[in-house]
Chains A and B, each alone.
Chain A
Amino acid sequence: MAGDDGRRRAWGWVAHLRDGGTTPWAGWHAEAERGPYLPGAQQLELLRRLNLAGRPSAALVDRVLSASAPGRGTPDLELVGADSGSAFGPRPVDPAQLPEVELTRVASSLVADDLVTAGTPALREPAFVRPWRTRYRLVGDPWLADPARDALTARGRPPGGRGAVVLVLGTDLATMVADVWTARAFGAGVASWREWLDPLARARSVPPRVDLPRTATAWAGRVGAGRVRVVLDPAALPRLVGVRRSLPARPRPSADATDLARRVGAVLGILVLPQRRTELLRRSLLPRLLEGPGAPGAPLAVPPQHADWALDRAARMRDDLTGAGYAVHGDPDLLLPRREDLAAATAGPTESGVLELALRLLLGSGDRPADTSDRPTEREGHR
């Protein structure tokens, strides 16, 4: 039980953090007058991390202190040594010991708010629709197809139309699997990388969107096999859709950035409608994740323990496609991931990396970067 002294000490720490202080709770002793209710340990520690990383504005400080972690999970926790003295409720904690995922929960909610407030950059007026355009449809790997389709639409060449050729886009299977997860993280939402990937690999199946033989067969049934092409060589795509200028390469956000988008997207799901969520994630958040110091970082990759699955399924995919006789642009062996790439793959998103990115985004929302010269020192914190 903490009593009034502990509560006053906690309010002193709140004031210290509001002033940009970075002293951990365990090392804080000064007291201050009590306010209405203490923010949770997660919010206070998040503010301390923001102070360590930069100089949050007063508005951001207020938002952090009045935020709550979204969704189900750990509720707001009290500070050990400054709890209300109640024998009920979750145990108080030392905020420095909180798992980073708890700080990211609060931060992702604030990032979602920022995105909604900022909106999306205005789209360039689409060019007039060329009547003589090549009729096409882009299917397959969504992270390859979506940017290419958007670019073509902006150039006055929307997909579809009578006699359209169906272009099934693909690359090596390991990348395609990562692409499906990335597209969903920046779209309708998805479970965490390993929660999503591991059952898939255990069942030795591949996501339907990148099951290229199945996609090709489905389209062949609708338009005839003669109008289905499998495109594994990205350089072949402009010619197939009738343009000379190259098409944008697919964005490569890091594994941490993609995981942050997934978490922010979950909050956006309750703030905006699904289509708007995707727009905010892809047109507003994604460019910010691809810029800045250290961006984009290590990309998402299938971990080594799933290498056999990825290689087996890729070989089967190659054999099925070539056996079915579809026109393939590019070497069918491009479907096979390189074993050395799989062996060197990283462990996927990291909690510390995701939190660091979230802090960077929050500080970037109109806040000044770190300037340690005028930040209170640890010693000042003990006054």
Chain B
Amino acid sequence: MTRRVLLHVGTPKTGTSYLQDVLFRNRPTLASAGILYPADRFDGHFLAALDLMRLPWGGLEREAIGAWDRLATQVRAHPGTSIISHEILAAASRSQVGQAMESLGHGSGTEVHVVLSVRDLVRQVPAEWQENVKHRSTISYQRFLRQIRDPARRGRISSWFWSVQEIPDILNRWGLDLPPEHVHLVTVPPRGGDRELLWKRFSHVLGLDGLDLDLEAERVNPSLGVPETALIRRINRAANRQVAPVDYRPLVRELLAHQTLSRRTRSPRLALPPDVHPWVRDLEDAWVTEIRERGYDVVGDLEDLRGGPPPRRWANPDSPVEKQVARAAVDAVKALLLENARLQQEVRDVRGELDEAYRALERSYLRPTYRARAKAVRRLQASAMGRNALQAYRAARGRNSRSA
């Protein structure tokens, strides 16, 4: 059996969370088909990527120590197909790619395939800004756009954006040492298309067709509208200094953004400003031409990489309609209240259990045998002879507890 590794390296906001959730939850089914998805926690491959790329990530990196080597060891030990998936791998440098490939067995018998899921830049630009906001950033949309349009790509935001979004450059790094037929591009269908089409494309390229997989999503990374993103940005500005990353993730990113504000689907959607649209379309055209020439395996349609026209009415997230933000804020307050109430109930329940434990303990103290022993110890401790006797007894018993 040929050892194969399917290495899905990005890009962000292309259905990666959904894919990783399906793969993680269906590990037994995959294993029965000879496919290894080596993870003991949902974000296992994220941690491995942090380790490979030496990326700090709000303290999470502490859990990532040695994660890539462990992952690679499992892959090398598996005789069949292994799947690795995380979108931040798109940012890996050439030497990190070389290190990853070597550790997975490339060049020593393992057939490595790189998979890159891609979406048009017209949707990716606002989505990346929103991701920044959901990761505590306070940068305005205008400033974000200015930074990513800087040809020198100065600064963290710009360099990160292009390292995970510039498809030809990602493939220059990850596809450098692979034949083009081992590089697979999965295109995300245009907005409003068949919702299952993307999964079918993933399923095809990863060899999952015909497997009975549970496709019910538990984890997704849903998008927010204009007022909702503006609200999160304001929350970041107000609370970043007080809220630690470890609390920000469950409260702001998960509870507020993902579980509450993403449900407000009738608000204006984030989009490119009309004046930036032609610049992005030109880039998309250049990318499509380049990718077509390289001869990669395209699963889907390269035309999917050309974004749609600008919206008829563009909503500026830097100056949103305040009424819409206020409504989103009310939903956010309500969610926090309900969460607080749930936690209060949990505290009451735990306190009740603790009280019950105390009462049980007291009852045991009140047992006649306990009281007799306690009285004996008190008496013995009152005299030197008694203390020596107690010490001898404890030594003989083989326990040094001071309590009776």
Partner-B contacts on A (CB < 8 A)? 36-40, 43, 66-76, 84, 86-91, 109, 266-267, 269-274
Q: Per DSSP, are chain B's interface residues mostly helix, strand or loop, or mixed?
A: helix
Does the CB pair A269–B56 fall under 8 Å? Answer: yes
* Set of chain A residues within 8 Å of B98, measured between Cβ atoms: 36-37, 66
Say which residue of B64, B153, B286, B287 sits within 8 Å of A90 (CB atoms).
B153
Interface centre among B56, B61, B290, by most chain A C-beta atoms within 10 angstroms, is B56
New contact pairs (16) apart from A90-B169, A91-B152, A267-B54, CB-CB < 8 Å: A37-B94, A37-B177, A39-B95, A40-B94, A66-B99, A69-B93, A72-B159, A73-B156, A75-B91, A86-B168, A88-B166, A88-B290, A89-B166, A90-B153, A269-B62, A272-B65
A158 CB, nearest partner CB in chain B, Å: 21
Interface pairs A-B: 5 shortest CB-CB: A70-B54, A89-B169, A88-B168, A270-B61, A68-B93
The docked-state distance in angstroms from the alpha carbon of A90 to that of B169 is 9
- Nearest-CB residue, chain B, relative to A109: B54
* Set of chain A residues within 8 Å of B94, measured between Cβ atoms: 37-38, 40, 76
Does the CB pair A75–B163 fall under 8 Å? Answer: yes
A72 with B153, Cβ < 8 A, contacts A88-B169, A270-B50 known: no
A266 with B56, Cβ < 8 A, contacts A74-B159, A273-B62 known: yes
B57 CB, nearest partner CB in chain A, Å: 9
* Set of chain A residues within 8 Å of B96, measured between Cβ atoms: 68
In the complex, 13 of the A-B residue pairs with CB atoms within 8 angstroms, ordered by the A residue number, are: A39-B95, A67-B95, A70-B54, A72-B159, A74-B159, A87-B168, A88-B166, A88-B287, A89-B162, A90-B159, A270-B55, A271-B54, A273-B62
A113 CB, nearest partner CB in chain B, Å: 10
Does the CB pair A40–B93 fall under 8 Å? Answer: yes
B246 CB, nearest partner CB in chain A, Å: 13
The docked-state distance in angstroms from the alpha carbon of A277 to that of B162 is 32
Does the CB pair B151–A91 fall under 8 Å? Answer: yes
B152 CB, nearest partner CB in chain A, Å: 7
The docked-state distance in angstroms from the alpha carbon of A71 to that of B91 is 10
The docked-state distance in angstroms from the alpha carbon of A91 to that of B151 is 8
The docked-state distance in angstroms from the alpha carbon of A188 to that of B260 is 34
Q: Is B160 an interface residue (CB 8 A)?
A: yes
Does the CB pair A75–B54 fall under 8 Å? Answer: no
The docked-state distance in angstroms from the alpha carbon of A67 to that of B151 is 26
* Set of chain A residues within 8 Å of B172, measured between Cβ atoms: 84, 86, 88-89
B128 CB, nearest partner CB in chain A, Å: 13
Say which residue of B95, B160, B166 sits within 8 Å of A68 (CB atoms).
B95
Does the CB pair B54–A66 fall under 8 Å? Answer: no
A76 with B54, Cβ < 8 A, contacts A84-B172, A91-B152, A270-B61 known: no
* Set of chain A residues within 8 Å of B53, measured between Cβ atoms: 68, 70
The docked-state distance in angstroms from the alpha carbon of A274 to that of B56 is 13
The docked-state distance in angstroms from the alpha carbon of A19 to that of B130 is 48
The docked-state distance in angstroms from the alpha carbon of A87 to that of B153 is 14
A72 with B62, Cβ < 8 A, contacts A37-B98, A88-B290, A89-B172 known: no
A89 CB, nearest partner CB in chain B, Å: 4
B102 CB, nearest partner CB in chain A, Å: 10
The docked-state distance in angstroms from the alpha carbon of A376 to that of B287 is 44
B235 CB, nearest partner CB in chain A, Å: 19
* Set of chain B residues within 8 Å of A76, measured between Cβ atoms: 93-95
- Nearest-CB residue, chain B, relative to A89: B169
The docked-state distance in angstroms from the alpha carbon of A273 to that of B59 is 11
